[in-house]
Every structure is written in structure tokens, then in C-alpha cells.
Amino acid sequence: MKQEFKVIANLLPDNTRVLDVGCGDGSLMNFLVKEKNIETRGLELDQNNVQECIYKGLTVIQGNAETELYQFPDQSFDYVVLSQTLQAFYKPDKVLNELLRIGKSVIVSIPNFGYWKVRTSLLLFGKMPITKTLPNTWFNTPNLHMCTIKDLYNYCEDQNINIKKVIGVNESNTSSIKRSNLEIKNLFSKLGIFLIG
């Protein structure tokens, strides 16, 4: 399982109820069910991924998170997980509000546009960055609203969203991010994982 999922799994207590928004082929859910006795539900757009989840015996609803989160009742999950998709929505702020409505807590991970390689690509070469976490070119990227760890941190504070924990991920290294080290972590983290709500 990829490092990001390990970090997310560690944030989730055993025996809880988790909604995985954009659950892909269900690999995170499968781990959570088997290793942590977590009751999971997934929401996934892609038909092949939905089938994969069903083969694994996972509960998954085919649908678009942008428009179909309304079907989940208020506070019906202990945690809602959204992995590296926030930036791909037309209205990420609305989606974030929906996640906070459905979950008592929300875990959101974002590819960090403030990572130094991303910054240098634009600054030194004048080109849109292509990295491991941002593999697409400008014309075919699904990402509409790129942001940095600092942006999301500030956004949460502005919106009075309670930040419980922020973790920066760079390959296998993880570190805790606070207001005091935000500038430096924003430069050296490829990924930011936020526990909010």
C-alpha cells in the first residue's frame, strides 16, 4: 500500500465508520476492513473501479462526488476520506463543506503545489510542472484548482474549520505540520494530509 494510505490508515481508529470518497479500486478500504475492523463505504465514478470493489466484497456506490454527496445523511460517518481529488472538482469549497457535513472528521490529502520542484519548474523553466504527484501535462490534467499546503491551511483557518492534524509526506518521510513550520514544510512536502472537522 502506498505511503499516503499508510498515513491515512494510521489516522483512523479501529472499529469506526469511514466513507472513502473517490475510493478507486478499494485498496484503502480493503486494508481498513481487514486490518482495523472498520466499516467502510466507497463512492467511485469509474465503472471498472466499482467492479473491482464489488469483487473484493466492498460496499461501493457509483457516482460523482461533485454532485452526489447529498445522498449521505448528516454526520453519518466517523471519518470521510478524500485522497488527492479536492483539486479536481469544479467547486472544491462546496465539496469540502459536504464532506464536513457527512463526517464527524474529514481527512483530505492534496498534491502540494508549493513543493520546491513544482516551484522551480515554473520559476526557472517557465513550464507547468510535471512530477510524480502531478504527472499530467497542462492540457490533459484533471486538476482545476491546484493549491499548496499553505493555501489549504489558511483556507481552513479563514473558514473556521478546526485543523486537528496536518502531515507532510515526502516519499517515505512524514512530518507534522504546524503554523510555526508551515513555510518550510510547504516547500519540502510532496503531499499534505489534513485531518479536520
Residues that bind another protein (CB under 8 A): 47, 50-51, 53-63, 71-73, 76
Residue 62 or 121 having the CB closest to another protein = 62
Query: Least separation, in Å, of the C-beta of 82 and another protein?
Result: 18
Dihedral (Cα; 35, 38, 44, 49), 10-degree rounding: 30
**Cβ atoms of residues 103 and 78 within 8 Å:** yes
Query: Least separation, in Å, of the C-beta of 100 and another protein?
Result: 18
Residue 51 or 170 having the CB closest to another protein = 51
Nearest CA among 81, 65, 73, 74 for reference residue 32: 81
Q: Residue 40 is inside which H or E element, if any?
A: strand 39-44
Residue 56 or 165 having the CB closest to another protein = 56
Query: Least separation, in Å, of the C-beta of 54 and another protein?
Result: 5
Query: Least separation, in Å, of the C-beta of 10 and another protein?
Result: 26
**Residues contacting 31, CB < 8 A, separation 6+:** 1, 5, 9
User: Phi and psi dihedrals of 39, rounded to 5?
Assistant: -90, 115
Residue 59 or 141 having the CB closest to another protein = 59
Packed helices 3-11 and 27-36: angle between N→C axes, nearest 10 degrees: 40
Query: Least separation, in Å, of the C-beta of 51 and another protein?
Result: 6
Residue 22 or 168 having the CB closest to another protein = 22
